Protein backbone atom coordinates (compact mmCIF):
# COMPACT_ATOMS: atom_id res chain seq x y z
CA UNK A 1 0.00 0.00 0.00
CA UNK A 2 1.22 3.53 -0.72
CA UNK A 3 3.26 5.38 0.18
CA UNK A 4 6.46 3.45 -0.52
CA UNK A 5 9.83 5.20 -0.70
CA UNK A 6 11.64 4.20 -3.90
CA UNK A 7 15.15 2.79 -3.96
CA UNK A 8 17.66 5.59 -4.61
CA UNK A 9 21.09 5.93 -6.22
CA UNK A 10 24.52 7.17 -5.18
CA UNK A 11 26.76 8.95 -7.69
CA UNK A 12 29.81 7.40 -9.36
CA UNK A 13 32.21 8.76 -11.99
CA UNK A 14 32.45 5.61 -14.10
CA UNK A 15 30.21 2.69 -15.05
CA UNK A 16 31.03 -0.24 -12.71
CA UNK A 17 31.41 -3.76 -14.14
CA UNK A 18 29.15 -6.74 -13.57
CA UNK A 19 25.87 -4.85 -13.09
CA UNK A 20 22.35 -4.61 -14.48
CA UNK A 21 22.35 -1.40 -16.56
CA UNK A 22 19.54 0.95 -17.57
CA UNK A 23 19.36 4.43 -19.04
CA UNK A 24 18.77 7.23 -16.54
CA UNK A 25 15.51 8.91 -17.50
CA UNK A 26 14.92 12.62 -16.92
CA UNK A 27 11.36 12.81 -15.65
CA UNK A 28 9.30 12.40 -12.47
CA UNK A 29 10.17 9.27 -10.50
CA UNK A 30 6.92 7.51 -9.65
CA UNK A 31 5.57 4.32 -8.13
CA UNK A 32 2.33 3.06 -9.68
CA UNK A 33 -0.07 1.12 -7.44
CA UNK A 34 -2.90 -0.77 -9.10
CA UNK A 35 -5.64 -2.82 -7.46
CA UNK A 36 -8.35 -3.58 -9.99
CA UNK A 37 -9.96 -0.30 -11.07
CA UNK A 38 -8.03 1.66 -8.44
CA UNK A 39 -4.76 3.23 -9.51
CA UNK A 40 -2.48 5.70 -7.81
CA UNK A 41 0.74 7.39 -8.90
CA UNK A 42 3.03 8.33 -6.00
CA UNK A 43 6.04 10.64 -6.21
CA UNK A 44 9.50 9.96 -4.82
CA UNK A 45 8.48 11.81 -1.65
CA UNK A 46 5.13 10.01 -1.38
CA UNK A 47 2.96 12.84 -2.71
CA UNK A 48 0.12 11.72 -5.01
CA UNK A 49 0.58 12.59 -8.69
CA UNK A 50 -2.51 10.91 -10.15
CA UNK A 51 -4.58 14.09 -10.58
CA UNK A 52 -1.85 15.71 -12.67
CA UNK A 53 -1.72 12.87 -15.22
CA UNK A 54 -5.29 11.67 -15.86
CA UNK A 55 -4.47 10.31 -19.33
CA UNK A 56 -1.58 8.29 -17.88
CA UNK A 57 -3.76 6.79 -15.15
CA UNK A 58 -6.25 5.63 -17.79
CA UNK A 59 -3.54 4.20 -20.04
CA UNK A 60 -1.85 2.30 -17.21
CA UNK A 61 -5.15 0.94 -15.92
CA UNK A 62 -5.77 -0.54 -19.35
CA UNK A 63 -2.41 -2.33 -19.59
CA UNK A 64 -0.87 -3.09 -16.20
CA UNK A 65 -1.56 -6.39 -14.43
CA UNK A 66 -4.74 -6.27 -12.36
CA UNK A 67 -2.83 -6.00 -9.06
CA UNK A 68 0.75 -4.73 -9.01
CA UNK A 69 3.23 -2.10 -7.83
CA UNK A 70 5.60 -0.80 -10.51
CA UNK A 71 8.57 1.57 -10.18
CA UNK A 72 9.41 3.86 -13.08
CA UNK A 73 9.56 7.35 -14.52
CA UNK A 74 6.89 9.68 -15.89
CA UNK A 75 8.15 11.41 -19.04
CA UNK A 76 6.86 13.70 -21.78
CA UNK A 77 8.26 13.36 -25.29
CA UNK A 78 8.35 16.22 -27.77
CA UNK A 79 9.78 15.40 -31.17
CA UNK A 80 12.80 13.18 -30.55
CA UNK A 81 13.63 14.38 -27.02
CA UNK A 82 12.38 14.36 -23.45
CA UNK A 83 10.82 17.66 -22.38
CA UNK A 84 11.11 18.23 -18.64
CA UNK A 85 9.65 21.74 -18.82
CA UNK A 86 6.41 20.35 -20.27
CA UNK A 87 6.36 17.88 -17.39
CA UNK A 88 6.62 20.60 -14.73
CA UNK A 89 3.73 22.48 -16.34
CA UNK A 90 1.46 19.63 -15.25
CA UNK A 91 1.83 20.54 -11.57
CA UNK A 92 -1.02 23.00 -11.76
CA UNK A 93 -3.90 23.61 -9.32
CA UNK A 94 -6.56 24.00 -12.02
CA UNK A 95 -8.04 20.69 -13.20
CA UNK A 96 -9.12 22.32 -16.47
CA UNK A 97 -5.52 23.31 -17.23
CA UNK A 98 -4.29 19.81 -16.42
CA UNK A 99 -6.87 18.29 -18.78
CA UNK A 100 -5.87 20.72 -21.53
CA UNK A 101 -2.19 19.84 -21.17
CA UNK A 102 -3.00 16.12 -21.02
CA UNK A 103 -4.45 16.43 -24.53
CA UNK A 104 -1.71 18.72 -25.85
CA UNK A 105 1.35 16.98 -24.34
CA UNK A 106 0.35 13.48 -23.18
CA UNK A 107 2.70 11.77 -20.72
CA UNK A 108 4.23 8.30 -20.86
CA UNK A 109 5.49 5.92 -18.18
CA UNK A 110 8.77 4.01 -18.46
CA UNK A 111 8.71 1.01 -16.09
CA UNK A 112 11.98 -0.40 -14.75
CA UNK A 113 11.15 -2.40 -11.61
CA UNK A 114 8.36 -4.58 -10.22
CA UNK A 115 7.72 -4.50 -6.46
CA UNK A 116 4.54 -6.57 -6.26
CA UNK A 117 2.44 -8.77 -8.51
CA UNK A 118 -0.90 -10.24 -7.46
CA UNK A 119 -0.64 -11.31 -3.83
CA UNK A 120 3.17 -11.54 -3.93
CA UNK A 121 5.71 -8.96 -2.78
CA UNK A 122 8.82 -9.13 -4.98
CA UNK A 123 11.01 -6.75 -2.99
CA UNK A 124 13.09 -9.62 -1.58
CA UNK A 125 13.74 -11.08 -5.04
CA UNK A 126 17.02 -10.33 -6.87
CA UNK A 127 17.06 -7.41 -9.30
CA UNK A 128 17.43 -9.68 -12.35
CA UNK A 129 14.38 -11.75 -11.35
CA UNK A 130 12.26 -8.65 -10.75
CA UNK A 131 13.18 -7.26 -14.17
CA UNK A 132 12.44 -10.58 -15.89
CA UNK A 133 9.03 -10.67 -14.17
CA UNK A 134 8.40 -7.07 -15.24
CA UNK A 135 9.36 -7.80 -18.86
CA UNK A 136 6.97 -10.77 -18.89
CA UNK A 137 4.14 -8.77 -17.29
CA UNK A 138 4.54 -5.93 -19.81
CA UNK A 139 4.99 -8.00 -22.97
CA UNK A 140 3.12 -6.27 -25.76
CA UNK A 141 2.94 -2.96 -23.87
CA UNK A 142 2.28 0.10 -25.99
CA UNK A 143 2.02 3.86 -25.48
CA UNK A 144 1.78 5.26 -22.85
CA UNK A 145 3.50 2.33 -21.12
CA UNK A 146 7.06 1.31 -21.98
CA UNK A 147 9.52 -1.20 -20.58
CA UNK A 148 12.91 0.42 -19.85
CA UNK A 149 15.69 -1.15 -21.94
CA UNK A 150 18.21 -3.03 -19.79
CA UNK A 151 21.45 -4.89 -20.40
CA UNK A 152 24.22 -6.78 -18.58
CA UNK A 153 26.75 -5.67 -21.25
CA UNK A 154 29.00 -2.92 -19.82
CA UNK A 155 30.19 -1.88 -23.29
CA UNK A 156 26.59 -1.40 -24.45
CA UNK A 157 25.83 0.61 -21.29
CA UNK A 158 28.81 2.85 -22.12
CA UNK A 159 27.41 3.38 -25.60
CA UNK A 160 24.02 4.28 -24.13
CA UNK A 161 25.76 6.76 -21.83
CA UNK A 162 27.39 8.45 -24.81
CA UNK A 163 24.47 8.38 -27.24
CA UNK A 164 21.29 8.76 -25.21
CA UNK A 165 22.14 12.23 -23.94
CA UNK A 166 21.19 13.44 -27.40
CA UNK A 167 17.60 12.42 -26.62
CA UNK A 168 17.51 14.24 -23.28
CA UNK A 169 18.49 11.37 -20.97
CA UNK A 170 21.14 12.18 -18.39
CA UNK A 171 23.28 9.09 -17.86
CA UNK A 172 23.15 5.43 -16.83
CA UNK A 173 21.89 3.57 -13.76
CA UNK A 174 23.72 0.47 -12.54
CA UNK A 175 22.08 -2.03 -10.20
CA UNK A 176 23.63 -5.12 -8.57
CA UNK A 177 21.82 -8.03 -10.26
CA UNK A 178 21.57 -10.10 -7.05
CA UNK A 179 20.28 -7.26 -4.87
CA UNK A 180 16.74 -7.07 -3.41
CA UNK A 181 14.71 -3.88 -3.62
CA UNK A 182 15.75 -1.59 -0.74
CA UNK A 183 13.23 1.27 -0.26
CA UNK A 184 14.75 4.62 0.69
CA UNK A 185 18.36 3.38 0.46
CA UNK A 186 20.97 4.55 -2.04
CA UNK A 187 21.51 1.01 -3.27
CA UNK A 188 21.93 1.80 -6.97
CA UNK A 189 24.65 3.73 -8.79
CA UNK A 190 24.04 6.65 -11.14
CA UNK A 191 26.64 7.80 -13.64
CA UNK A 192 25.76 11.25 -14.95
CA UNK A 193 27.33 13.57 -17.48
CA UNK A 194 29.41 16.45 -16.15
CA UNK A 195 30.65 19.51 -18.01
CA UNK A 196 31.86 22.92 -16.90
CA UNK A 197 30.83 26.46 -17.79
CA UNK A 198 31.98 29.94 -16.80
CA UNK A 199 28.99 31.92 -15.52
CA UNK A 200 28.30 35.42 -14.27
CA UNK A 201 27.49 35.71 -10.58
CA UNK A 202 24.42 37.95 -10.55
CA UNK A 203 22.74 37.36 -7.19
CA UNK A 204 22.31 35.17 -4.16
CA UNK A 205 19.68 33.78 -1.86
CA UNK A 206 19.99 33.42 1.89
CA UNK A 207 20.15 29.98 3.45
CA UNK A 208 17.07 28.77 5.31
CA UNK A 209 19.08 28.91 8.54
CA UNK A 210 19.77 32.65 8.38
CA UNK A 211 21.70 35.44 6.63
CA UNK A 212 24.41 33.33 5.02
CA UNK A 213 24.68 32.25 1.39
CA UNK A 214 22.15 29.60 0.47
CA UNK A 215 22.68 29.62 -3.30
CA UNK A 216 24.48 31.65 -5.94
CA UNK A 217 22.45 32.80 -8.94
CA UNK A 218 24.11 32.20 -12.29
CA UNK A 219 23.77 34.03 -15.58
CA UNK A 220 24.87 33.74 -19.20
CA UNK A 221 24.61 36.37 -21.94
CA UNK A 222 22.52 35.49 -24.97
CA UNK A 223 23.07 36.56 -28.58
CA UNK A 224 21.12 39.77 -27.98
CA UNK A 225 23.38 40.76 -25.07
CA UNK A 226 20.77 40.06 -22.37
CA UNK A 227 21.83 38.29 -19.18
CA UNK A 228 19.68 35.18 -18.76
CA UNK A 229 19.28 33.33 -15.45
CA UNK A 230 20.53 29.78 -16.10
CA UNK A 231 20.48 28.20 -12.64
CA UNK A 232 22.09 28.12 -9.21
CA UNK A 233 24.91 26.44 -7.34
CA UNK A 234 24.13 25.68 -3.73
CA UNK A 235 26.16 22.91 -2.08
CA UNK A 236 28.50 24.61 0.42
CA UNK A 237 29.55 23.70 3.97
CA UNK A 238 28.11 26.08 6.57
CA UNK A 239 31.49 27.67 7.26
CA UNK A 240 31.93 28.41 3.56
CA UNK A 241 28.42 29.90 3.40
CA UNK A 242 29.42 32.45 6.05
CA UNK A 243 32.73 33.19 4.31
CA UNK A 244 30.94 33.72 1.00
CA UNK A 245 28.51 36.16 2.58
CA UNK A 246 31.40 38.29 3.84
CA UNK A 247 33.27 37.96 0.56
CA UNK A 248 30.31 38.99 -1.61
CA UNK A 249 28.89 41.75 0.58
CA UNK A 250 30.75 44.49 -1.37
CA UNK A 251 28.87 43.41 -4.51
CA UNK A 252 25.40 43.79 -2.96
CA UNK A 253 23.45 46.51 -4.78
CA UNK A 254 21.69 49.12 -2.67
CA UNK A 255 18.90 49.17 -5.25
CA UNK A 256 18.06 46.61 -7.94
CA UNK A 257 17.07 49.32 -10.43
CA UNK A 258 20.26 49.03 -12.48
CA UNK A 259 20.48 45.25 -12.32
CA UNK A 260 19.90 43.23 -15.54
CA UNK A 261 17.05 41.46 -13.74
CA UNK A 262 15.54 44.61 -12.25
CA UNK A 263 11.98 43.75 -13.31
CA UNK A 264 12.07 40.21 -11.88
CA UNK A 265 9.05 40.87 -9.60
CA UNK A 266 6.76 41.59 -12.56
CA UNK A 267 5.06 38.43 -13.71
CA UNK A 268 4.98 39.55 -17.35
CA UNK A 269 8.77 39.87 -17.44
CA UNK A 270 9.18 36.11 -16.97
CA UNK A 271 7.31 35.46 -20.22
CA UNK A 272 10.16 36.85 -22.33
CA UNK A 273 13.22 36.62 -20.06
CA UNK A 274 14.67 33.95 -17.79
CA UNK A 275 15.09 35.55 -14.37
CA UNK A 276 15.08 34.38 -10.75
CA UNK A 277 11.97 34.67 -8.62
CA UNK A 278 9.51 32.95 -10.93
CA UNK A 279 6.60 31.07 -9.37
CA UNK A 280 7.33 27.62 -7.95
CA UNK A 281 4.92 24.97 -9.22
CA UNK A 282 5.86 22.60 -6.41
CA UNK A 283 5.46 24.80 -3.34
CA UNK A 284 3.42 27.84 -4.34
CA UNK A 285 4.34 29.71 -1.15
CA UNK A 286 8.11 29.23 -1.32
CA UNK A 287 10.08 32.45 -0.79
CA UNK A 288 11.88 33.04 -4.09
CA UNK A 289 13.22 36.50 -3.27
CA UNK A 290 16.90 37.12 -3.88
CA UNK A 291 19.66 39.67 -3.33
CA UNK A 292 20.99 41.38 -6.48
CA UNK A 293 24.76 41.57 -6.91
CA UNK A 294 26.70 43.69 -9.35
CA UNK A 295 27.39 41.22 -12.21
CA UNK A 296 31.16 41.64 -12.04
CA UNK A 297 32.47 38.23 -10.97
CA UNK A 298 32.80 35.01 -12.94
CA UNK A 299 32.79 31.50 -11.52
CA UNK A 300 33.30 28.10 -13.08
CA UNK A 301 30.60 25.54 -12.31
CA UNK A 302 30.07 21.90 -13.22
CA UNK A 303 26.71 20.88 -14.69
CA UNK A 304 25.24 17.68 -16.11
CA UNK A 305 23.12 18.90 -19.01
CA UNK A 306 20.92 21.71 -20.28
CA UNK A 307 17.13 21.83 -20.34
CA UNK A 308 16.44 24.39 -23.03
CA UNK A 309 18.37 27.51 -22.01
CA UNK A 310 19.06 26.59 -18.37
CA UNK A 311 20.92 24.01 -16.30
CA UNK A 312 18.61 21.08 -15.65
CA UNK A 313 19.95 20.48 -12.11
CA UNK A 314 21.77 22.50 -9.47
CA UNK A 315 25.30 23.28 -10.66
CA UNK A 316 28.41 22.62 -8.55
CA UNK A 317 30.94 25.34 -7.72
CA UNK A 318 34.43 24.66 -9.03
CA UNK A 319 36.44 27.92 -8.75
CA UNK A 320 36.44 31.66 -9.27
CA UNK A 321 37.61 32.89 -12.67
CA UNK A 322 39.19 36.35 -12.15
CA UNK A 323 40.74 36.04 -15.62
CA UNK A 324 37.35 36.11 -17.34
CA UNK A 325 35.25 39.14 -18.21
CA UNK A 326 31.55 38.71 -17.42
CA UNK A 327 30.54 39.71 -20.95
CA UNK A 328 32.55 36.80 -22.32
CA UNK A 329 30.27 34.30 -20.51
CA UNK A 330 27.85 33.34 -23.26
CA UNK A 331 25.88 30.28 -24.35
CA UNK A 332 28.45 29.68 -27.10
CA UNK A 333 30.75 27.88 -24.63
CA UNK A 334 28.21 25.14 -23.85
CA UNK A 335 28.64 21.73 -25.45
CA UNK A 336 25.71 20.41 -27.47
CA UNK A 337 25.36 16.61 -27.58
CA UNK A 338 24.60 14.93 -30.89
CA UNK A 339 20.87 14.40 -31.38
CA UNK A 340 19.49 10.90 -30.84
CA UNK A 341 16.01 9.72 -31.79
CA UNK A 342 14.15 8.86 -28.58
CA UNK A 343 11.89 6.42 -30.43
CA UNK A 344 14.91 4.10 -30.85
CA UNK A 345 15.21 3.86 -27.04
CA UNK A 346 11.51 3.26 -26.42
CA UNK A 347 11.13 0.64 -29.17
CA UNK A 348 11.17 -3.02 -28.09
CA UNK A 349 14.63 -4.55 -28.38
CA UNK A 350 16.42 -7.70 -27.25
CA UNK A 351 18.33 -7.43 -24.00
Query: Which sequence positions are flagged as catalytic?
Result: 24
Instruction: Pinpoint the alpha helices (H) of the chain.
Output: 54-63, 84-88, 95-104, 127-137, 154-163, 238-248, 342-346
- Whether the CB-CB separation of 207 and 241 falls below 8 Å is answered with yes
Burial label for 302, CB within 10 Å (0-12, 13-18, 19+), is middle
- Whether the CB-CB separation of 43 and 49 falls below 8 Å is answered with yes
Q: What span, in angstroms and rounded, lies between the C-alpha atoms of 183 and 160?
A: 26
- Whether the CB-CB separation of 112 and 148 falls below 8 Å is answered with yes
- Which letter does DSSP use for residue 225 in this model? S
- Whether the CB-CB separation of 181 and 175 falls below 8 Å is answered with no
Q: What span, in angstroms and rounded, lies between the C-alpha atoms of 172 and 160?
A: 7
Element (H, E) at 173: strand 171-175
Instruction: Pinpoint the alpha helices (H) of 225-320.
Output: 238-248
Within 10 Å of residue 262's Cβ, how many Cβ atoms?
Answer: 15
Q: What span, in angstroms and rounded, lies between the C-alpha atoms of 330 and 102?
A: 35
Helix axes 95-104, 54-63, angle to 10 degrees: 60
Maximum distance among all Cα pairs of the chain, rounded to whole angstroms: 64
SS (H, E, C) 319-344: EECCCCCHHHCEHHHCCCCCCCCHHH
Element (H, E) at 35: strand 28-35
Q: 350 CB contacts (<8 Å, ≥6 apart)? A: none
- Residue 149, phi then psi, degrees to nearest 5: -60, 145
Amino acid sequence: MPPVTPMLAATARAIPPGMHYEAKWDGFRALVFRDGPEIELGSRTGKPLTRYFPELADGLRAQLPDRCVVDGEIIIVRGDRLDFDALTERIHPAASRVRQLAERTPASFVAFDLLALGDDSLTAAPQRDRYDALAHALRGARHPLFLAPATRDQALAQRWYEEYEGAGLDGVIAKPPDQPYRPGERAMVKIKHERTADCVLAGLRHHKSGPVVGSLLLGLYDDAGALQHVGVCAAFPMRRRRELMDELRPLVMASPEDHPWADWAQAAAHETRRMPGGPSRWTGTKDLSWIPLRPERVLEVAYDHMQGDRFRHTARFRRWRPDREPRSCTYAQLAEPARFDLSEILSPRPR
